[in-house]
Amino acid sequence: MSTADLRIGYAAGAFDLFHIGHLNLLRHAKSECDLLIAGVVSDEMLRLTKGITPVIPLAERMEIVSHISYVDRVHAEVVPDKLDTWREVRFTHFFKGDDWRGTEKGRRLEREFAAVGVEVVYFPYTMSTSSTVLRRALAALNGEPERVNG
C-alpha cells in the first residue's frame, strides 16, 4: 500500500481523567484507519474553548495516550482551528463522538473538512462516563461548589 492510499485518522480530545469513553473513541477510530493520530488538546486550548482547566497536565496526558495500543502517534493540539491542525498533520479522516452529529458545530466541521477532502466519521458517544461527570464527582469529594463549565 502506498502512502497515498493510507487512511490517516485523527481523533482529538482532552483525554483528561482518561476513561472508557476515551478508549472507545480510540478503539473505534483505529478500526477505521491505517494510522491513528490522537490529538491531545493543550491546557491553554481547553481553557480557551471549553473554559476548563484539566486535572492532568498536557505532557502527562500525552504520555498516557501514547501508550494506548490503538494510537500510532500523538499530536499536541495547540490551535483552536481544526483546519490549522489538519494543515500540520494531514489526516484523511477526522473522528468525533456522535453527540456532534447534526449540530451546527458538526455541520460546520463537515463543510470545512469536505473542502479539503477529509471525511468526518462519527462514533457512538459513551453516555455512561464523561469527564464532566468525573470532574463533578471530584469537586463533590473535595467539598467544592459545582462549576457550570465542567
- pLDDT number for residue 98: 86
60 phi and psi, to 5 degrees? -70, -40
Element (H, E) at 36: strand 35-41
Q: Which fold has domain 8-142?
A: Rossmann fold (3.40.50)
Q: What integer pLDDT is reported at residue 150 of this predicted model?
A: 39
Taking the domains of the chain in order of start, what are their residue ranges? 8-142
Please state, as a whole number, how many other Cβ atoms lie within 10 Å of the Cβ of residue 145: 6
Rg (CA), the chain: 16
pLDDT in tens, 65-99: 999 999 999 999 999 999 999 999 999 999 998 88
Dihedral-angle region of residue 73 (phi above 0 means left; psi in -120 to 50 means alpha; beta otherwise): beta
Q: Taking all residues of the chain, what is their mean pLDDT, rounded to a whole number?
A: 88
